[in-house]
Each structure stands twice: as structure tokens, then as C-alpha cells.
Structure 1
């Protein structure tokens, strides 16, 4: 039964014997993670910019409507 449990697990990535190759893999993975994180922050910033712009436009429209009355 222990062997069946081992077979169900997903195999991990192969770890290179050479430390330089390992460092390159780690650095590459970190760069990808940082890039994905920065994309998420950029998306959040843009969505906030959109909401602020939308609120300012609606406020401006309300002021124009009030001044017309």
C-alpha cells in the first residue's frame, strides 16, 4: 500500500547536480514569480485608476447637472 501512495504523488522537478545550474534555475523561477507579482500589482493599480476616474467623471456630471438647474 505504501508503494501505491508513492505512485500517486507527482514527480518533482529534477535538481541539477551542478550548483551553477541550480542557481540559474532558482534565479529564473524567482524572476518569473516577481514578474507575475508585478503584473498583479499593475492590474490592481489600473483598476483603482479606472475607479477613481469613473468617480471623478460622475462627480463632474452631477455638478454640471446641479449648475444647470
Structure 2
């Protein structure tokens, strides 16, 4: 979670489900790097994925994920 790109991913997913390519473009990293970030978030139980054809889509595992992230931001100052 310490990586700023992963935090950006969570913020992007707060708006709804997104494809890996859309997240890569909007967060500003290459698709392979984005896939690695998403793998870390998936392993942590923060996001879930679904496949549609050749595309993989991600969304927050629970709406409370973003609430917890924002709370941590406030505490950290």
C-alpha cells in the first residue's frame, strides 16, 4: 500500500469498475506495471477482478476500502 500509484488506483476504482488499460492510462504507468500493482491490491483483498473477453476489469472489493484509506490519510496528516 505504500506505493502512491496503488493509492491512485484505489481512488480511480472508487468511481467504479475499470479495465487494466484504462487504469494504466489514467494513473500513468505501463500495463505490465499496473498489472503488478493490481496483483498486490488483489492479494491484500482490496480489489476484485473479472474477465470479459481479453480484458480484465477491477473494482473495490468493498466500499469501505476507500473509507479506510481516507481515514489513514487523515491520521497520517
TM-score (norm 2): 0.22
State which structure, 1 or 2, has the greater radius of gyration over its C-alpha atoms: 1
Q: When you count strand as a share of all residues, which structure comes out higher?
A: 2
TM-score (norm 1): 0.24
